[in-house]
Structure 1
Amino acid sequence: MDEGDPTRRNLLAGASGIAASALAGCSERLWTRAENTAPEQVELTIKTVPADDDAAAAKIMSHLRENYQAAGIDATHEPIAKAELYRDILLEGDYDVFVVRHPGFDEYDALFELLHSQFVSGRGWQNPFHYSDVTADEHLESQRTSRGDRHNAMAELVEYLEETAPYTVVVFPHHIGAVSADIPITSSPREPLEFYRILSTETENGPRDGPLEVGVFGEGLTERLNPIIVDRNRIDGLLGLLYDPLVRRRSGESIPWLASDVTWEESGRTSATITLRDGLSWHDGTDIDADDVVFTYRFIQDTSMGDIDGGLPAPRYRGRQTIAENVTRVDSRTVRFSFGNTVRSASTRSLTIPILPEHIWEPRSEVIAQRQTEALVVEDEELIGSGPFELGEVTDTAIQLVPFDEHVFRDSSSDRPFVLDGFSQYSGIRFRIDPNPGAMIDAILDGEIDLTATTIPPGETAPIVAHDEIRLTSVQTDSFYMIGYNVHHSELGNPRFRRVLSRLIDREYTVSELFDGFAQPANSFSSLVGIRDDRWEHRTDPILPQFPGTDGEIDVEQVRTLFEDAGYQYENGSLLE
């Protein structure tokens, strides 16, 4: 590649940005050392959930901590319950390093909200690393607006992120489930469309008078069902069954949902005109109209509706909301979205936000404390949504969803999305909540549930395999286990240091030994940032730096050389600040 090549120029520009960041980090350490003649050992605390909540995350953490310690880092582990962990990471930024399972990306553009400096002070999965990099911002913006060459823009972005490493992906785990033999499906559900697929599939015994019995496990799953917050446990797919978006996405395909029609205009600036279906209503009987759509996008942008200076956005869906430059009412059933120069494939993400009822949420814009609105603290057990199911009885051990008979999709003669052909074979859905995976597995072995929705730990599949009436299912997912770095930490602010840390996990070993093969390793530039290889459409993927060791254990001398090349020094085996 010659230096006149535009890709090379971009890479050189990126490299200069990395060098500047690295020099800034080195300068800070030099000044620190000038003031302190006794540099101390680098200390890092790794936060993750306890093994009972996520055995895989705990195993990755243990493997990582051992390698950090062997590299001379004073690494400690702080297990913390999932709700508190999400609060520390996604709301407070109170961590050094974390290991969590990320839900995965629905589209390339999800990287924008995860990493752009626009969200450096955001909450939720909006730049929880506090990462601010001008070159990364340029790449993130370019992929949104590169109409003819978006894949090349993405390739440059992922290569640059491997160099700067605000986080790193370890593996893409399979979703392991158990299903009763009389239900003809090949995988257990996690997302609304997967639930609808099951609900529309007739069993060997025909339609059932009772609900689909779904097993999940975890603590506090019924404590706070507010759909716009992120600091609590969730039952995957639950809220999506209660709240409908304008459009749903499936394997890159857009399926109109509340929308009966989406008309795109892409000559110059991108826009979309949405026509709502006839006969839409909320669970309390109130009609759904264009005002609810416009309100939802404005409310996610600022839950105080203008009462707080600078606004107070909802931590959930904020990234998708910012894709739309303007959302306006045309008439009672028509809304127009303006997306500026953003390409259609990225703009469509904005249409997947669940629509909220204005008459329920507008009163919750009241400011009740400093930079706090009622909307962000309300438990919202009532959950007045628009989906084909509405909330029934809620206890500590179960959540019942019952049919919403007035939903337009309950009429088989209506123009329903194709995924609802045959809907519904059950009278509802009941989520049975167990405290741990063992109890959930016992429930399906005893015939108390039809299938599991929370993934089964890889090491606990044997009883299911041995059972004649239960099938073990395993399907590749877009979710991934990631190691995140807080760049506000004195050492983690240095991209060269983060890049070495990102190599101290043996991904192949993790798949074989910690996941029993039920995962794929992140071993390419695209997969290191969370895009599975089979989702990556670029023609090439450069060779990655390898794990400095074998069979999960680092080569201490090799790792010391890597840190020394990054400007660090050792004393008596300890890596010094």
Structure 2
Amino acid sequence: MVFGSGGRRRAFLAGVAGAATATAGCLGNVRNLLGRQGVDQLSLSIATLPASEDPYAVRIATRLADNLRASGIETMVDPVRPDVLFRDILINQDFDLYVARYPSHGAPDELRSMLYSPYAEESGWQNPFGFTDLTLDDLLDQQRSTEGADRIGMIHEIQRRVVREQPFTVVCFPDHLGAVRDDRFDGWPPGGPGRPPDYFRLHRVGSETTLQLLLGNDRITRNRNPIAVEYRNQGKFTGLLYDPLVWPGREDVEASPDPIPWLARTVAWEGDETLSATVQVRETPWHDGEPVTAEDVAFTYEFLGDTSLGEFETPVPTPWRRGRVSLVDATDVLDDRRIRIAFTTRNRSVARRALVVPILPRHIWRERTDPADIAGIELGGPTTQALVASNEAAVGSGPLQFVDGDAGESLSLEAFPDHFLYTGRNENIPDRLSEERPFDRIEFTVAPSHDAVVQILSDDGADAAADGLRASVVPRIVRDDDVSLTTRATASFYHIGYNCRRAPLVDPNFRRTIARHIDRETAVLDSLEGYGIPSEAPLKGQWVPDNLLWDGEANLPFFGTDGEFDEEAAMEAFQEAGYQYDGDRLIRRETT
């Protein structure tokens, strides 16, 4: 029974109490009835970043919370700093909903990492929602070994199932906004420097050899661990310190027509039904002078698959790049310079994703397999020192090496003179990346705000913003003749994530109804100030089925028009999904 007001409920309870006094033999039944009628208003918390870190995310979260409150759900927005947010979501799995940016590269195989049921209790970006769907698991496995039109059709079906089940709700793809000067360095890519190869496409103008860059996010100054998931998103800064075997020619490694051999001098693909590749590793040292060998490559894949190296009862895989590592079936070291890698897929474009992981020095990271404890982490299983080490004085093989850092303030990197880019051992690397070194040093400085970034650039105190800027500073940039606005489309997307381990979020009908509380067009216009593209699909281009291409209205349409929320329609939808109201409160029943 549902009560329309507190008065009606009190009258009912008073009547029941009177009946109980008169009919003592029915007391047990009365207690049962009272126990079944206990109700509380349903409450949800939306975790996100504070406005100082990501104003877009907190605006989306705030608008969602306002609409959920109008629907009768007690809703709180909980903005917390990035390391806490991602530790709660990705490691502790302690959240109801969250709003954040998913660090996508646009590769369809990323969906397997996001949604694969066996990853539901692991840490990291692999299935942080705790979502399980065996039919979807089969599709996610099959797409790895399918090619051409068949694979495109399979990716279409996967996304249709995602939209139907709503383990997460895609909101939009934001544009990446950057600001640069070109009086000391030019050749900036759209949006400013993004992936590590972008830095080596720059050209020096004049005699300045230090590149001065501004940071809005200070995580790289505090932690330089390439597998610390609460500090990393796309690894664009640690990628300057740690080389992968291959860099994709563009963001989507699967679609890239020109992958760049990097630490791998050559990659020779072999086989059809069973795919493998023989990789020749370049002759180059680690930053501490030890030689990079094929053993380091083999160690990296084994270590990322289990950072305890078999010391714990259950493996402790990396919480970051887990999907890429799962593409490797086995490795076989042939000699110091050559390794054969066998893959779990026969699709070469998918297998190539496994080659874009940071190669780690065995002599350093094999000492980090011991158990570790850290405040704030409440794992159901063990963790290792490798996952929590701050790795401040990072030792990689990358073109830049760590020099100095001040947590929360700055980071200094210098060109590593023995890197293969600078020693002539750069066969098969495009000339535009291996020409004269554009700088000898990079100084990263944390700016107190995005407005401060623009002011420092305007005052000629730096060369570019190293990470994205918010749309609110665009007018200041375009008015300054010495500073240029530069933009690029991104594969990353803002989304609402649901903890499918918790009631009522375990119910897809409940999630589907929540998804209708956000107006994507309004989110882009108001929250992102127009710098983005609405979407309900997590991929772009050929990977999106026709019925999910954005045409102004989602398959799960917003409750309302032009951002104006229709609370009556939302309440009716919750009731149709089997939920009940006490007056204007959506209720959670408690049994005793």
In the alignment, does 2:423 pair up with 1:411?
yes
Larger displacement relative to structure 2 (413-422 or 126-135): 413-422
Question: For residue 28 of structure 1, what is the aligned residue in structure 2?
Answer: none
Query: Is the Cα–Cα contact under 8 Å of residues 33 and 39 in structure 1 kept in the other structure?
Result: no
| Equivalent in the alignment of 1:12 | none
CA contact (8 A) 2:243 2:396 kept: yes
Aligned equivalent of 2:323:
319
Higher Cα radius of gyration:
2
Equivalences for residues 328-347 of structure 1 within 5 A: 328-347=332-351
1:536 to 538, 543, 566: 543
SS state of the match for residue 511, structure 1?
helix
* CA deviation vs aligned residue, 1:447-468 (integer Å, no higher than 9, x gap): 1110102211111222211111
Q: Percent of pairs identical after alignment?
A: 34
Q: Distance in 1 between matches of 2:272 and 2:469?
A: 48
CA contact 1:83–1:233 (8 Å) conserved in 2: no
- 1:215 maps to 214
Alpha-carbon displacement from aligned partner over 1:113-133 (angstroms, at most 9, x marks no partner): 111012111111111111111
* Cα distance between partner residues in 1 of 2:234 and 2:490: 17
Amino acid at match of 1:471: S
Instruction: Give the Cα–Cα distance (whole angstroms) in 2 for the partners of residues 347 and 413 of structure 1.
Output: 26
Q: 1:261 aligns with which of 256, 260, 266?
A: 266
The equivalent of 1:79 in structure 2 is 79
More divergent stretch after superposition (428-437 vs 86-95)? 428-437
Q: Tell me which of 562, 576, 582 is aligned to 1:551.
A: 562
What corresponds to 2:412 in structure 1? 400
Q: Does 1:439 align with 2:449?
A: no
Q: Which runs of 5+ in 2 are unaligned?
A: 1-31, 374-380
The 3-state SS of whatever aligns with 1:354 is coil
Query: Is residue 500–residue 562 contact of structure 1 (8 Å, CA) maintained in 2?
Result: yes
Helix, strand or coil at the partner of 1:546: coil
Note the alpha carbon deviations across 1:334-377, whole angstroms, 9 max, x for none.
11111234422211111111100001111222335682322223
Cα deviation, residue 157, structure 1:
0.6
Structure 1 runs not aligned, ≥5 long: 1-31
Counterpart in 1 of 2:498? 485
- Whole-angstrom CA distance in 2 between matches of 1:162 and 1:196: 40
The whole-number CA distance in structure 1 between the counterparts of 2:557 and 2:546 is 21
What is the CA–CA distance in structure 2 between the aligned matches of 1:576 and 1:33, rounded to whole Å?
Answer: 17
**Residue 367 of structure 1 pairs with residue 371 of structure 2:** yes
Question: For the residues of structure 1 that align with 2:566 and 2:388, how far apart are their CA atoms?
Answer: 49
Asked if the contact 2:265/2:428 (under 8 Å) is kept, the reply is: no
Quick one: distance in 2 between partners of 1:233 and 1:301? 18
Q: What letter matches 1:244 in structure 2?
A: D
Q: Which residue of 2 aligns with 1:275?
A: 280
Q: Which residue of 2 aligns with 1:495?
A: 508
Aligned partners of 2:556, 2:101: CA distance in 1, in Å?
23
Deviation of 1:506 after TM superposition, in Å, equals 0.5
Equivalent pair of 1:47/1:77 in contact (CA under 8 Å): yes
What is the rounded CA distance, in whole Å, between the counterparts of 1:549 and 1:439 in structure 2?
38
Following superposition, the deviation at residue 154 of structure 1 comes to: 0.7
Alignment of 1:61-460 (within 5 A): 61-148=61-148, 149-182=150-183, 183-185=186-188, 186-198=190-202, 201-203=203-205, 205=206, 208-232=207-231, 237-251=236-250, 252-253=255-256, 254-277=259-282, 279-368=283-372, 371-396=382-407, 397-411=409-423, 414-418=426-430, 419-460=432-473
> Deviations along 1:237-263, whole A, 9 cap, x unmatched?
210011001111123322211111112
Q: Which shifted more, 286-295 or 306-315? A: 306-315
Q: Which moved more, 1:61-70 or 1:99-108?
A: 99-108
- Alpha-carbon separation, structure 1, partners of 2:269 and 2:575: 54
Q: Equivalents in 2 of 1:258, 1:33: separation in Å?
A: 70
2:403 alignment partner AA? G
User: Match of 1:466?
Assistant: 479
Q: Provide the residue aligned with 2:5 in structure 1.
A: none
**Amino acid of the structure 2 residue aligned with 1:306:** G
Q: Matched residues in 1 for 2:167 and 2:141: separation?
A: 18
- Report the 3-state secondary structure (helix = DSSP H, G, I; strand = E; otherwise coil) of the residue aligned with 2:421: helix
Secondary structure at the aligned position of 1:372 is classed as coil
What SS does the aligned partner of 2:451 have?
Answer: helix
Residue 243 of structure 1 aligns to a residue in which SS? Answer: coil
Q: Deviations over 1:276-306 (max 9, x none)?
A: 12x2211111111110000001111111111
| Residue 563 of structure 1: how far off its partner (Å) | 1.7
Q: 2:576 aligns with which of 560, 565, 573?
A: 565
Instruction: Give the direction of change, closer, same or farther, for the CA distance of 1:355–1:62 in structure 2 (3 Å limit).
Output: same
1:49-92 deviations in whole A, cap 9, x for unaligned?
11111111111111111111111111111111111111100110
Aligned-pair CA distance for 1:272? 1.5
Equivalents in 2 of 1:545, 1:268: separation in Å?
Answer: 40
Counterpart secondary structure, 2:222: coil
* 2:24 corresponds to: none
Counterpart of 1:75 in 2: which secondary structure?
A: strand
Q: TM-score, normalised by structure 1?
A: 0.88
3-state SS of 2:355 partner: helix
Judged with a 3 Å threshold, the aligned counterparts in structure 2 of structure 1 residues 454 and 236 are, in CA distance, closer, same or farther, namely farther
Q: Greater shift after overlay, 153-162 or 333-342?
A: 333-342
Q: Partner residue of 2:19?
A: none
CA distance in 1, matches of 2:120, 2:33: 29
Q: Is the 8 A contact 1:43 1:74 kept in 2?
A: yes
Q: Secondary structure at 2:40's aligned position in 1? A: coil
Distance 1:317 1:545, change over 3 A: closer
How far 1:162 moved relative to its partner? 0.6
Change (3 A) 1:129 1:102: same
